[in-house]
Amino acid sequence: MSFIEVTNVSKRFRINKRAGGIPGMIANMFVPKYEYKQAVDGISFSIEEGEMIGFIGPNGAGKSTTIKMLSGILCPDSGSIKVGGYTPYKDRKKYVGNIGVVFGQKSQLQWDLPVIDSFELLKAIYRIPEELYQKNLNRFTEMLQMESFLYQPVRQLSLGQRMRADIVAALLHSPKIVFFDEPTIGVDVVGKETIRQFIRELNETDNITMIFTTHDMQDIEKVCDRLIIIDKGSKVYDGELSGIREKFGTTRQLDVEFTQECEIEPVENVQVIPLDNRKKRFVFENRDVKIDELMNELLTKYSIRDINISEPEIESLIRKIYNGEVS
Amino acid sequence: MKLTPYLAFAKKSFLNRSAYRFNHFMGILNTLVRIFIFWCIYRALYGERNEVDGITMAMVTTNFVLSIGMDALFSINDYYLPNRIGNGSIATELLLPISFKGRMLFENLGNTLFQLIFHFAPALVVCVVTVGVLPPVSFGCFLLFIISAVLGYGVLWNLSFLLQTFSFWLLNMWSLMTIKNVFLNVLSGSMIPLWFMPDWMAPVMNLLPFSSIYFTPVQIYLGQLSAKEIGTKFLVQMLWIGVLYLCGNVFWKKGKKKLVVQGG
């Protein structure tokens, strides 16, 4: 059995739906109308210990709901969740000692107190032994370069500093699983890189299982090994990052620069887009056209200065998946 | 239940309080102004008389100082849970391996300790010097007063907690809390000493928990109750704590189950 086992989990919410305006408000007071929204619809997956998972999907796809069920805050309507032998929503108090959660948009630090006081509080809450606490604190503050603001009240920190402090706060008790919910949101380029490197390093050295939700594809490309994509409450992709290209990235494009202006004879199944006088772009499906044959044909027929083959970027593929253009 | 993490919460909220000093001084001023206004009103009502229905002006003053003082001392945050449900931060807090209720209680206790030292004590000194406060009738009564005040705190805390759990279902708690506070002010004796309540109100007051909160301790302090009556009052206070605690627990468990975290 895997470390995290999610089987056929569903969750729906009841939403109060009201008509607009004053009549709608009054009607709603006496006869409230509800509608149901299926946030998660029969999702199953399993995760091994030490894996680094990117968990993505468009807004409203059910990511947060799934993460909340995994962390034991929400109780699924049906299906079962097992994490390291615990059922999160049932054994909440015992279970949560083994996990750490970083919500990019919600801080768990004490707003008015220096960062170090929040850490001391967490030490007491999780009953972290003094030795482990000191070891983790020194190690993490050094890795994330936090010495300069450890004694400042949280409300005076910049967003990047606060986020780093929040990440350390989630890791002090050496959890086995860490959930990152958009940990780089609103952080500048350098800060993002520091955070990514730190997460990557920690995953490799400490064998911590990490689940990462984000909208930043750079995060995913630089940090995660495996990707789970969900949309409208169901899983649409589960596999390696590179597998996405194989599965969905079937279009190729070939940018060709000719030595002189020329007319291009139409080629079967290839779309030709003129870029400027001497440059043309050839777009085609991998399965219809063999790239070597096409190049051969071009090279023999025309005089060519430069050729550039490009694969679609992960980001544009994922955009296509979200838009429902590929299946 | 090990106490260390909870004491850490008490310490945290104690420390938190020192962050906003101006706010704190205005709080003391607020308490003093409240006491002073009531003192002025009753000074005017008493006029030349020394006592009304056997109640002296000094007793009335003592009642106000103690019950308004206790009100400031207990300072329960009625929106502790509603705020956390409203902005979704309850999510992160339920992720800690501790009891949420225990944490809530101890954060409040830390706050109360702060209030005792830096709010109640200075305000009491000012009141003793200016409007005058009767001393407790005996040392024994003073001890019983403290026990009764602690029980009163228990009643108020559980009452507030019970109402706060409704925020799992209601998104706006302001109206409910305001109604509670009106009842609390009128029926607990912190606005009108309960000696002056009309007789027909007595059964209503006996059926509601409010008089157990401030008025019972005040009566004990002033030595108005016999040993037997004190025993009964203690039982009533404990009964209220039990009833409110059980109801609060039922709603808390149900609410947690249906928790829909807002804004996330």
How high is the pLDDT of residue B264?
A: 39
Q: Is A241 exposed, middle or buried (0-12, 13-18, 19+ CB in 10 A)?
A: middle
Instruction: Quickly state the pLDDT bin for B263 (edges 50, 70, 90).
Output: very low
**Kind plus residue range of the DSSP H or E element containing B126:** helix B121-130
Q: Which of A32-36, A74-78, B48-52, B230-234 has the lowest mean pLDDT?
A: A32-36
How high is the pLDDT of residue A45?
A: 93
Interface test with B, best of A112, A118, A120, A156 (most B CBs within 10 A): A112
Instruction: Please state, in angstroms and rounded to a whole number, the distance separating the CA atoms of residues B82 and B162.
Output: 12
Instruction: Please state, in angstroms and rounded to a whole number, the distance separating the CA atoms of residues B112 and B156.
Output: 13
| Mean of pLDDT over chain A | 85
Average pLDDT over residues B96-116: 91
Between the two ends of chain B, the Cα-to-Cα distance in Å is 31
Which chain B residue is nearest to residue A166, measuring alpha carbons?
Answer: B92
Interface test with B, best of A68, A98, A181 (most B CBs within 10 A): A68
Q: Which residue, among A219, A228, A232, A235, has the nearest Cα to A56 in the 3D structure? A: A228
Instruction: Quickly state the pLDDT bin for B229 (edges 50, 70, 90).
Output: very high
Instruction: Please state, in angstroms and rounded to a whole number, the distance separating the CA atoms of residues B208 and B188.
Output: 10
Which chain B residue is nearest to residue A181, measuring alpha carbons?
Answer: B264
Longest alpha-carbon distance in chain A:
79
**Kind plus residue range of the DSSP H or E element containing A256:** strand A251-258
What 8-state DSSP symbol labels residue A15?
Answer: E
Minimum-distance CB partner of A117 among B2, B15, B98: B15
Q: What is the DSSP string of B60-113?
A: HHHHHHHHHHHHHHH---TTHHHHHHHHSTHHHHHTSSS-HHHHHHHHHHHHHH
How high is the pLDDT of residue B160?
A: 95
Taking the model in full, what pTM does it have? 0.76
Instruction: Please state, in angstroms and rounded to a whole number, the distance separating the CA atoms of residues A65 and A79.
Output: 14
Q: What is the DSSP string of B183-244?
A: HHHHHSSSSS-GGGS-GGGHHHHHHSGGGGTTHHHHHHHTT-S-HHHHHHHHHHHHHHHHHH
pLDDT in tens, A14-25: 777 767 777 777
The tokens for A5 are: 């086992």
Minimum-distance CB partner of A68 among B15, B91, B257: B91
pLDDT in tens, B177-209: 999 999 998 898 888 888 888 888 888 888 899
- Cα A212 to chain centroid distance, Å, stands at 5
Instruction: Please state, in angstroms and rounded to a whole number, the distance separating the CA atoms of residues A285 and B45.
Output: 95
Domains, chain A, with CATH or none: 4-245 (3.40.50.300), 250-310 (3.30.70)
Instruction: Quickly state the pLDDT bin for A249 (edges 50, 70, 90).
Output: low
How high is the pLDDT of residue B31?
A: 92
pLDDT in tens, A124-150: 889 899 999 999 999 999 999 899 999
pLDDT in tens, A211-228: 988 888 888 888 888 999
Tell me whether residues B261 and A94 touch, CB distance under 8 A: no
Average pLDDT over residues B98-112: 92
Helix, strand, or coil (residue A173): coil
Q: How many CB pairs under 8 A join A and B?
A: 72
Question: How far does A74 lie from chain B, in Å, by closest CA?
Answer: 7
How high is the pLDDT of residue B5?
A: 85
Instruction: Quickly state the pLDDT bin for A168 (edges 50, 70, 90).
Output: very high
Instruction: Please state, in angstroms and rounded to a whole number, the distance separating the CA atoms of residues B244 and B221.
Output: 25
Instruction: Quickly state the pLDDT bin for B92 (edges 50, 70, 90).
Output: confident
Q: Which long-range contacts (CB under 8 A, 24 or more apart) does A130-136 make?
A: A132/A174, A133/A172, A136/A171, A136/A172, A136/A174
Average pLDDT over residues B218-222: 93
